[in-house]
Every structure is written in structure tokens, then in C-alpha cells.
Amino acid sequence: MDTGVLEAKGRAIIDGNRFMTLGTANTDGDPWASPVFYVADGYSTFYWISSPEATQVRNIAVRPRVGIVVFDSQQQPGDDEAVYMAATACELTGTDLDRGLEIYLGAAPFGKGPEAFRPPGSYRAYRATVTEHFMLCPHASSRPCPLHGRTSDHRVAVSL
């Protein structure tokens, strides 16, 4: 398998989209999925803005490990191109907040300045740092994948 092709597709997916599905869990392990507008800094750091009262933010406070999926929701069924990521998320503070807002506000379509995302403002800035990237193996079919022995869709690690 040419992972270079998969990696190029993965970068194009992240570059070509602006919403990610952020998967979090509460203290009981109950899952929560949230679509959030993101700005990526490269392919391993994602920034977004949320209310500190949002369910995903409360979940991150107790379980910072998150799952992320970026995909084109307009693609045709069967295309199944997406980037799946494992990450650690946090609210930004101090110099991390300054840097995060510089990146986010430089690319996001918001008319608000950085003061809107600092206390006592209604929103805060968050960052997810990716630890692993995955994409679906292109060899899955009705016959076993020659590399992984599976016929069903399955993910393979990629380096973006």
C-alpha cells in the first residue's frame, strides 16, 4: 500500500474542510459527539471556540482524551474518505491562549477580537493535540485485504 497517497488525501481532507466531529466522554464514559468549526495549525493541532458550559468542554475537563473525525459531508456514499484522530484536548490559558487565538482568529470568519474569548467573555479557546492519525485502508473489499486480512472497512495509521 502506498501510504504517501493516503497521507496526501488526509492532508487534503483537513485542508478542505472546516468542521470536525469531536468525540468526548463524561466521567461515566457516556459518549458525546459535537461538530465544531476548527482551524488547524499543520495536521496535528486543531483549535476551536466553545462556551465553557458546552457538554464537550465539561467532558474534556474530566477526560481530556478525545476522538476527532474530519470528512467531507458532501461526498458520495462509498467514497468514505475521512481522517480519524486520537488526541488530547484542553482549554487554552496564558501564552498558549495568546498563540491559539492568533492562529484561530487569523483564519476564522469571526468579527470578534481576542477579548471575547477571555474571561468574562462567553466563549473560550480550546486545542486538540493529535497523537495518532488513521484513514480507512483502501484495500478493503469483498476479498480479504492482502495486508491486513480483513474484508470489512478498517483503519490504518498514517503520518500527516
CATH of the domain at 16: 2.30.110.10
**Mean pLDDT estimate for the chain:** 88
The span from the CA of 68 to the CA of 23, in Å, is 6
Share of the chain above pLDDT 70, in %: 84
Residue 133: give the domain boundaries.
Answer: 3-158
The span from the CA of 35 to the CA of 66, in Å, is 13
pLDDT in tens, 91-143: 999 999 999 999 999 998 777 778 888 888 889 999 999 999 998 777 666 56
pLDDT band, residue 147 (cuts 50/70/90): low
The pLDDT of residue 42: 96
The number of folded domains in the chain is 1
When mean pLDDT is compared across 37-46, 59-68, 141-150, the lowest value belongs to 141-150
Cis omega (within 30 of 0) for bond into 120:
yes
C-alpha grid cell, residue 40:
488547524
Give the predicted TM-score (pTM) of the model: 0.89
Q: How many CB atoms neighbour CB 76 within 10 A?
A: 7
- Who has greater pLDDT, 113 or 87? 87
